[in-house]
Amino acid sequence: MEKRIRILIAKPGLDGHDRGVKVVARALRDAGFEVIYTGLHQTPEMIVSAAVQEDVHAIGLSILSGAHLHLFRKVKELLKEQHAGDIALFGGGIIPEEDVRELKKLGVGAVFAPGTPTDEIVAWVKKHVKTK
């Protein structure tokens, strides 16, 4: 049997806006993926350690606080340190276009803006996240 894709959905930083992240977590679960949601107020260290422990194939970060550049960079660095750089990283939130380009340069696979249909996120995961 083919291994199911496991995804860690996380809220890094102090941001409390969790409407979007809960919708995305539920949509990914309904699409048949295994979803682990960290809950709010996670540090990058907590997220990466959970990702490694849970042996996930992708991490989705939701950030609406403006701290996205700092937090994505930190998570990416820690993943490399943990030799887990192959875990796909994607995200969404209130992120200006200019910063989306910056995040893509960092190696973030996709950044979904407000208004993105959940189907689009599911399709992206199906196409880009592999079970190794």
Residues that bind other proteins (CB under 8 A): 13-19, 21-23, 25-27, 37-41, 43, 65-67, 69-71, 74, 94, 96-97, 113-115, 117-119
Number of H helices, E strands in the chain: 5, 5
Q: Find out whether 37 and 62 touch, Cβ atoms under 8 Å.
A: no
CB of 5 to other proteins, least distance (A): 18
| Identity of the residue, 50 or 52, whose beta carbon is nearer to other proteins in the bound complex | 50
Report the alpha-carbon distance of residue 82 to residue 60 in Å, rounded: 18
| Identity of the residue, 81 or 130, whose beta carbon is nearer to other proteins in the bound complex | 81
